[in-house]
């Protein structure tokens, strides 16, 4: 299964690469970074559960550092809060559901209210980054690696199609003050990308073949919506902090949090949806 995911993703990137290489230099860097990240993910999934936990730490710790640095909070205190949150969730998994409310509050504040206080900064670290990463942990612990492959492929294809085709086609920008590079054509292209990913996951890989077509439609629609909202949340926060990126850890992407925003945001919804609805 992981091997099929690996081969499909890389064959697609090879076919799609001309759209990147004939674009800006940043897009070339983004393409290479994406290849490295999918290699690391596949290695972690092939090895064992502990290697996947290491992959989650690879995503979460740099994200926490970037967020702490930009929002002027102590990184050591951030790690301590993160560690306490992880222990709480491991001891009482019911909080993986209860945390959804403060998670939504953090998102609401990022869009509509002041989001630069220290209390909010620590809340963002706990209820967005740590909670998002721990949701992926629980998905893998209870459901196996299948849903992680689904999540990564759908979110990545949404990004790839939206970035490449949206940039080429252009058009009206629905959120110019929050994310000036996003266009309606990009969002429509993202739907195409998600459809391609869903078809591959249903017919070729095939993780989603055991579900009904309606369940697949609802699942992929949920992933598409939450991934795009997660990207807008971090974009809104960056506008309030008056920065373009959270960091420069990943060439072409910016910081780790710039790359993982939609993954962290989608995680809690996927965990709840998979655990209680399908």
Please, which pLDDT band fits residue 22 given cuts at 50, 70 and 90? low
Alpha helices in 113-212 (DSSP H): 118-124, 131-143, 146-169, 184-199
Residue 142 CA, chain-centre distance (Å), reads 20
CA distance readout (Å), 129 to 36, 61, 104, 138, 167: 22, 9, 13, 14, 28
Give the pLDDT score at 251: 73
From CA 41, how far away is CA 58, in angstroms rounded?
10
Instruction: Locate the domains of the chain by residue range.
Output: 2-276
Per-residue pLDDT reduced to its tens digit, 115-153: 667 888 899 999 999 999 999 999 998 888 889 999 999
From CA 148, how far away is CA 136, in angstroms rounded?
7
CA distance readout (Å), 23 to 61, 69, 168, 182: 31, 31, 9, 17
Q: Which two tokens stand for residue 15?
A: 């076919």
Which carries the bigger pLDDT value, residue 276 or residue 64? Answer: 64
């Amino acid at each position: 299964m992981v091997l099929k995911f690996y081969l499909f993703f890389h064959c697609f990137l090879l076919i799609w690469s001309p759209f990147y290489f004939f674009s800006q230099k940043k897009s070339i860097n983004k393409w290479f970074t994406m290849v490295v990240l999918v290699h690391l993910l596949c290695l972690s999934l092939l090895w064992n559960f502990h290697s996947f936990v290491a992959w989650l730490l690879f995503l979460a710790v740099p994200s926490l550092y970037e967020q702490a640095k930009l929002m002027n909070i102590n990184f050591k205190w951030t790690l301590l809060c993160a560690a306490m949150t992880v222990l709480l969730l491991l001891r009482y998994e019911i909080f993986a559901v209860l945390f959804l409310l403060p998670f939504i509050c953090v998102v609401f504040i990022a869009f509509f209210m002041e989001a630069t206080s220290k209390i909010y900064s620590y809340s963002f670290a706990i209820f967005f980054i740590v909670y998002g990463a721990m949701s992926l942990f629980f998905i893998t612990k209870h459901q196996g690696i299948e849903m992680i492959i689904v999540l990564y492929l759908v979110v990545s294809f949404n990004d790839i199609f939206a970035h490449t085709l949206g940039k080429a086609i252009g058009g009206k920008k629905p959120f110019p003050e929050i994310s000036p590079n996003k266009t309606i054509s990009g969002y429509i292209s993202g739907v195409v990308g998600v459809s391609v990913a869903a078809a591959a996951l249903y017919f070729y890989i095939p993780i989603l073949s055991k579900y009904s077509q309606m369940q697949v439609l609802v699942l992929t629609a949920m992933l598409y919506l939450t991934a795009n909202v997660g990207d807008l949340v971090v974009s809104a926060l960056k506008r309030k902090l008056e920065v373009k990126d959270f960091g420069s850890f990943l060439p072409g992407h910016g910081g780790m949090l710039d790359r993982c925003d939609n993954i962290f945001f989608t995680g809690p919804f996927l965990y709840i949806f998979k655990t209680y609805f399908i």
